Structure 1
Amino acid sequence: MPKMKTHSGAKKRFKVSGSGKLIREQANRRHLFEGKPTTRTRRLAANEVVDPANAPAVNRLLGRR
């Protein structure tokens, strides 16, 4: 059986924390800031932990078992 390749899109979007949790960036923080309140853009700057329901799928894409 050949090695499983890491999904190129997933490796750019997800990181694994020191404790093994999956970290992701939040959406809506790329452009069009004039229409968004500053409080909202500050809140969106923080990283989030991937939802437990989606974690198995993301782990598969990253080649983690």
Structure 2
Amino acid sequence: MPKMKTKSSCKKRFKVTAKGRVKAGQAGKRHGMIKRTNKFLRNARGTTTLAAADEKIVKSMMPYSR
């Protein structure tokens, strides 16, 4: 049986933690910072873990990350 392929887009954007959660960068920080509140910018630093429904989608595209 041949190896399954990982989606390259997922490989670049997501990491799987030791407990199996999916880690991703925060959204909404590419442009338009002037209209965003300081609180939003502060809270959107670093990374976040995805919701369970989104996790399922990402994990289906990364077969060897389980």
The TM tier, using the shorter chain, reads 0.7 to 0.9
Task: Tell me which amino acid in the other structure corresponds to 1:18.
Answer: A
Match of 1:36 in 2: 36
TM-score where L is the length of structure 1: 0.80
Cα deviation code 1:18-46 (max 9, x no counterpart): 22211111211111211112211111114
Aligned residues: 65
5+ residue gaps, structure 2, are none
Identity %: 34
- Uncovered stretches (5+) of structure 1, i.e. residues with no partner: none
Helix, strand or coil: the match of 2:9? helix
Question: What residue is the counterpart of 2:16 in the other structure?
Answer: 16
User: What secondary structure sits across from 1:34 in the alignment?
Assistant: coil
Amino acid at match of 1:33: M
Runs of 4+ in 1 over 4 A off after TM superposition: none
1-side partners of 2:62 and 2:34: how far apart? Answer: 35
State the superposition RMSD in angstroms: 1.6
